Amino acid sequence: RTVYVNGDYLPEDEAKVSVFDRGFLMADAVYEVTSVLGGKLIDFEGHAVRLKRSLDELEMAEPCSKEELLEIHRKLVELNGIDEGLVYLQVSRGSDGDRDFVFPSADTTPTIVLFTQNKPGLADSPASRKGAKIISIEDIRWGRRDIKTVQLLYPSMGKMMAKKAGADDAWMIEDGHVTEGTSNNAYFVKDGVIVTRPLSNDILHGITRKAVLRMAAEAQLKIEERLFTIEEAKEADEAFTTSASAFVMPVVEIDGVALGDGTPGPIAKRLREIYLEESMNAAI
């Protein structure tokens, strides 16, 4: 695999980042994941805009322009022959050469790393045809989940808790309400109404969420952005998640309770189809 590090395209085993890098030592880094379908980038613009926002919120310098970023994404897709897959991008505050809680001076060069993941069958995945089983766990993450930082230890532990329970993923609960999935936004559907938590600092502002809610509105589906409990979701007709890497993923079971007939619901399946078609048409 060819990866990108600070201006260079290199074989992955030749790429280097400092041991003092604050991304490594302090999770002082932000990231984006953009999917690739038919060799093209899905919603690059959305991811570039959110990256800028994450960097601004943390007073981190932009490593390069949006045009350069697009160029790097495209070149990696081409060099690695990706038809279906993902491009991972990480920007950290870098380092001035030592470990210190105080931020290094503002002119410190940020570290930028990108790599691809080849995922043939991403669009027509067996997982999406089966649907996901989820469990609920407590949300004990920090309070700025709207910033896409690499503090992924708890989401990673949540995924492990799900695996140990024989499920696929976990939804997190704070103050009695579902926040989001470990790496996706959460929705349920009851009597034809799609319910999802409103945007705030409590959840990541999903790029796929934005697109799917727009497409749902265009398809005349009813949407309610409000807080909801896991009990409501368990009594739903169907449920699903959205993310750049899994698009619209039907949820068929919550905490051992099957939703509907235990297979992917019609609205989730329809939104997945609409999302894939429209975003592939708009891919660049």
Q: Which stretch binds ligand PMP (CB under 6 A): 55-63, 106-114, 229-237, 241-249?
A: 241-249
The tokens for 100 are 């210190």
Among candidate residues 40, 133, 148, 269, the one labeled active-site is 148
Where in the chain does DSSP place strands (E)? Answer: 2-5, 8-11, 29-37, 40-41, 85-92, 111-118, 132-138, 169-174, 177-181, 185-190, 193-196, 222-225, 238-243, 247-254, 257-258
Residue pair 187/221 in contact by the 8 Å Cβ criterion: no
Total residues interacting with ligand PMP, rule: CB under 6 A: 13
Q: Specify which residues 10 forms β-bridges with.
A: 3
Q: Would you say 42 or 254 has its CB closer to ligand PMP?
A: 42
- As measured in angstroms, the least distance from the Cβ of 284 to ligand PMP is 17
Q: What part of residues 48-87 is at the interface with ligand PMP (CB under 6 A)? A: none
Burial class (CB in 10 A: 0-12, 13-18, 19+), 220: exposed
- As measured in angstroms, the least distance from the Cβ of 104 to ligand PMP is 27
Contact between 208 and ligand PMP per CB under 6 A: yes
Contact between 276 and ligand PMP per CB under 6 A: no
Q: Would you say 116 or 185 has its CB closer to ligand PMP?
A: 185
Options 23, 110, 158, 206; binder of ligand PMP; rule CB under 6 A? 206
Q: What part of residues 175-204 is at the interface with ligand PMP (CB under 6 A)? A: 180, 183-185, 204
Contact between 244 and ligand PMP per CB under 6 A: yes
Distance of alpha carbon 109 from alpha carbon 94, whole angstroms: 6
Contact between 209 and ligand PMP per CB under 6 A: yes
CA distances from residue 192 to 72, 81, 199 in whole angstroms, order as listed: 42, 41, 22
- As measured in angstroms, the least distance from the Cβ of 209 to ligand PMP is 6
- Active-site residue flag, 163: no
- As measured in angstroms, the least distance from the Cβ of 214 to ligand PMP is 13
Q: Identify the DSSP state of 180.
A: E
Tell me if residue 63 falls in helix, strand or coil: coil
The tokens for 20 are 């003092």
Options 136, 196, 242, 279; binder of ligand PMP; rule CB under 6 A? 242
Q: What is the CA radius of gyration of the chain?
A: 19
Contact between 136 and ligand PMP per CB under 6 A: no
Residues catalogued as catalytic: 148
**Which residues form the interface with ligand PMP (CB under 6 A)?**
33, 180, 183-185, 204, 206-209, 242-244
